[in-house]
Amino acid sequence: MFKAIQIDKTDGQYAASLVELDEQALPEGDVTVEIDYSSINYKDALAITGRGPIVRQFPMVPGIDFAGKVIASDSADFAVGDRVLLTGWGVGERHWGGLAGKARVKGEWLTKIPDNADAKQVMAIGTAGFTAMLCVQALLDHGVKPENGPVLVTGAGGGVGSCAAIILATLGYQVTASTGRPQEADWMRDQLGVSEIINREELSAPGKPLQKERWAAAVDTVGSHTLSNVCASVRYDGIVAACGMAQGMDLPATVAPFILRGVTLRGIDSVMVNSAKRPAIWEKACQYLTPEVLSKLSEEYPLTDAITVAEKLLDGKIRGRAVIACKA
């Protein structure tokens, strides 16, 4: 038996609760993992609270990421004892996920934990940090250099935003953080290495199609008017890596920044990234988001607190990353 968060929908009533499950109940898959850590991402919070249509079938164990040790395997790629992690692939949405003591999944969804990292570090990074690394990689691939000017990160107080800010600052970029939490300004400056902080209200209302060129590049976790205003304010030939929708799914923009300033809008998806590309991104993420760095932007909670943490995250009360210890 192991503990898990389970989401049920009976007679239209949606509810998440802590339950005890038998290993027999686990879904099909060729690898079974004993989970040490998972985390609460925005998507997990929407799933657990039911505030967003994330869960596709019931009952569901949420948790879009996890890390632990292989305890049974029919996969040629994984042996008992291997240290593995998983992010995405619809786990925690369509297939039982990581907010549990155990999971059974397809081996092709797993990535080996980098040699010098451990389960806690990779889950302090989690889907959010992996996505942040994908966003920063898009900026690097575009050729953005620190001397080109400041880089904007929106939703900087959240998981993806805080990880992106700290990676960029470590790489020598001057980072501007957009946030709705001015009370976190000292933390952002001192711990994330942010140079400038702007109130997210500066970007959240409808704006002009082209605005003053302020940033060499941007990582946007917010979408909607914020993303439109960010595209309208990025310098000539700049790039915006867009991964989120915390303000909204809409994009009320014009083509002006793209056709008059050559701005690139690069979409970032972490869920279906090709397995072959993942190890290198994880290596890099672990290189920049070390345990010491992560201690400044993550907090550990027991599995029994996962539901409360999910609610707090959507209320903007979780700073950075929430790591969940799943081992009983």
* Span near ligand NDP by CB under 6 A; candidates 10-18, 71-79, 115-123, 159-167: 159-167
Q: Which one of residues 6, 32, 38, 41 is an interface residue with ligand NDP (CB under 6 A)? A: 41
Collapsed DSSP state (helix, strand, coil) of residue 23: helix
Shortest reach from residue 274's CB to ligand NDP, in Å: 14
CB of 130 to ligand NDP, least distance (A): 8
Strand 234-242, strand 175-179: pairing: unpaired
Judged by CB under 6 A, how many residues of this single chain contact ligand NDP? 32
* Member of 83, 181, 235, 261 binding ligand NDP (CB under 6 A): 181
CA of residue 302 relative to chain centroid, distance = 19
Q: Which amino acid is at 25?
A: A
Q: Which regions of 283-325 does DSSP assign to beta strands (E)? A: 298-302, 321-325
Residue 301 is a binding residue for ligand NDP (CB under 6 A) = no
Q: Are 150 and 176 in contact (CB under 8 A)?
A: yes
DSSP secondary structure letters along 192-245: T--SEEEETHHHHS---SS----EEEEEESSBHHHHHHHHHHEEEEEEEEE---
Among 2, 4, 43, 62, binds ligand NDP (CB under 6 A): 43
Nearest to 107 by CA among 169, 28, 183: 28
Q: Six-digit token pair at 191?
A: 């711990």
* Omega before residue 146 within 30° of 0, cis: no
* Phi and psi torsions of 101, nearest 5°: -75, -25
Asked if 240 interacts with ligand NDP (CB under 6 A), we say: no
- Within 109-138, the residues that bind ligand NDP by CB under 6 A are 127-128, 131
Token code pair at residue 323? 């790591």
Nearer to ligand NDP, 21 or 46 (CB): 46
Identify the residue among 98, 149, 155, 193 touching ligand NDP (CB under 6 A): 155
Distance of closest approach, residue 269 Cβ to ligand NDP, in angstroms: 5
Sole binder of ligand NDP in the list 63, 92, 97, 159 (CB under 6 A): 159
Q: Which of 138, 160, 227, 234 binds ligand NDP (CB under 6 A)?
A: 160
Strands 175-179 and 196-199: parallel
Closer residue to ligand NDP, CB minimum distance, 259 or 272? 272
Q: Smallest gap, in angstroms, from Cβ of residue 229 to ligand NDP?
A: 11
Binder of ligand NDP out of 97, 129, 157, 238 (CB under 6 A)? 157
Using only C-alpha atoms, the chain has a radius of gyration, in whole angstroms, of 20
Residue nearest to ligand NDP (CB): 158
Report whether 213 contacts 236 (CB < 8 A): yes
Position 299 contacts ligand NDP (CB under 6 A): no
β-strands 234-242, 215-220 pairing: parallel
> How far apart, in whole angstroms, are the C-alpha atoms of residue 42 and residue 64?
10
Q: Considering only the stretches 24-32, 38-46, 55-63, 229-237, report the one whose residues sit in contact with ligand NDP under the rule CB under 6 A.
A: 38-46
For the chain, give percent helix, strand, coil, nearest 5.
35, 30, 35
- The stretch among 17-25, 66-74, 116-124, 177-185 that binds ligand NDP (CB under 6 A) is 177-185
CB of 70 to ligand NDP, least distance (A): 25
Quote the tokens at residue 217: 């590049």
107 lies in the binding site for ligand NDP (CB under 6 A): no
Q: Under rule CB under 6 A, which residues in 263-282 are in contact with ligand NDP?
A: 268-271
Give residues in contact with ligand NDP (CB under 6 A).
Answer: 41-43, 127-128, 131, 155-161, 179-181, 200, 204, 221-222, 226, 243-247, 268-271, 313, 316
